[in-house]
Amino acid sequence: MDIVLIKWFDSKSGPAGWEYLDGIDPVEPISCVSVGFLLEENESYKTIAPTVGGGQVLGRVTIPQCSITDMRKLSEGD
């Protein structure tokens, strides 16, 4: 499996509870960077995991393709 670095944007929520419309501050998406073993990729998403061992993975995350701004291969898999 290849090891990749993915830059992507994630959603962010505003504060819980009621807010007055005239007092709402902008809530910007969060810029993220994730590194891991590339488990799956297709036109809709990429799935990576930071830890692989004993035929298992730990910490798997799937990132929608529309959220990805950059992806670089760091190492070629065996």
Residues 5-40: pLDDT tens digits? 999 999 999 888 999 999 999 999 999 999 999 999
Q: How does the average pLDDT of the chain come out, rounded?
A: 95
Q: Report the length, in residues, of the chain.
A: 78
What are the chain's domains? Answer: 3-14+28-75 (2.30.30)
**At 60, is the pLDDT very low, low, confident or very high (cuts 50, 70, 90)?**
very high
C-alpha to C-alpha distance for 15 and 26, rounded to whole angstroms: 11
pTM passes above 0.85:
yes
Task: Tell me what pLDDT residue 78 has.
Answer: 66
